[in-house]
Amino acid sequence: MGRIAVYGGSFDPFHLGHLIPTVRALETFRFDAVHFVPAGRPPHKDGHPLTRVTHRLVMVALATLPYERFFASDLEVFCQGPTYTVETVKHFRDLHPDDDLYFLLGSDSFSQIATWHRWQELVELAHLVVLHRAHMWDERLRSRVPPTLLDRLQVVAPFATVPDPDGPTIYLLDHEPFPISATSIRERQRRGLPIRELVPHEVYTYIERYKLYRHDGGEPRSC
């Protein structure tokens, strides 16, 4: 039995706040594979257009290529209509029926899980690994979690030994938080401020090559 992880997100752009905590999760949980799934048309982003998903997929693929157990998934690239996390996780559950399945997400996203489509089903399909976001942790996070999930929470330190879970578990990975957001990176790029130290080198080169996140003729932001 292996350990398979799925990390879904907009990744607009993919940055070090995504990459480095996932490396910590890999080192802690000893995942056999981590699949990064750029969101196609997440319903909660309606009214806030994303950079086209093919650009976001390429940035993820370039950034994760050096890591032999990291994979970029095009699962949501060609989906028609809204894409839901529960369906993506179910897809990987069907692909790996005999493995332990984990879903990675930031603590800011986890704090809103009660608003997600079929969230009760999602938390039964996979164990959750919650990555530390500095503004949403400890008691502030717990106060926003559905009460039915509180008994599943388990704080894990980086590099700790994590035994195979007996039942659906939600791990709070207490790594050093990275105060980086995709929103702030896009704004810095728009204003001409440096972002080189905030994203993997391959992603920075790609953003510059295609003039992403600018208003001077770069790619339009669309689904």
Q: Work out the pLDDT band at 191, boundaries 50, 70, 90.
A: very high
**Res 13 pLDDT > 70:** yes
State what percent of residues in the chain have pLDDT above 90: 86
> pTM of the entire structure?
0.93
Of 41-45, 65-69, 118-122, 144-148, which gets the smallest average pLDDT?
Answer: 41-45
53-61 mean pLDDT: 97
Q: 78 vs 116, which has greater pLDDT?
A: 116
pLDDT digits (tens, 9 = 90+) for 127-177: 999 999 999 999 999 999 999 999 999 999 999 999 999 999 999 999 999
State what percent of residues in the chain have pLDDT above 70: 93
Question: What pLDDT does residue 221 have?
Answer: 46
Computed over every residue of the chain, the mean pLDDT equals 93
**Domain 3-210 CATH class label:** alpha beta
**Res 220 pLDDT > 50:** no
Question: What pLDDT does residue 82 have?
Answer: 86
HEC per residue, the chain: CCEEEEEEECCCCCCHHHHHHHHHHHHHHCCCEEEEEECCCCHHHCCCCCCCHHHHHHHHHHHHCCCCCEEECCCCCCCCCCCCHHHHHHHHHHHCCCCEEEEEEEHHHHCCHHHCCCHHHHHHHCEEEEECECCECHHHHHCCCCHHHHHHEEEECCCCCCCCCCCCCEEEECCCCCCCCHHHHHHHHHHCCCCCCCCCHHHHHHHHHHCCCCCCCCCCCCC
Question: What pLDDT does residue 63 have?
Answer: 98
196-217 mean pLDDT: 91
107-126 mean pLDDT: 97
116-126 mean pLDDT: 98
Question: What pLDDT does residue 222 have?
Answer: 43
Question: What pLDDT does residue 1 have?
Answer: 87
**Res 26 pLDDT > 50:** yes
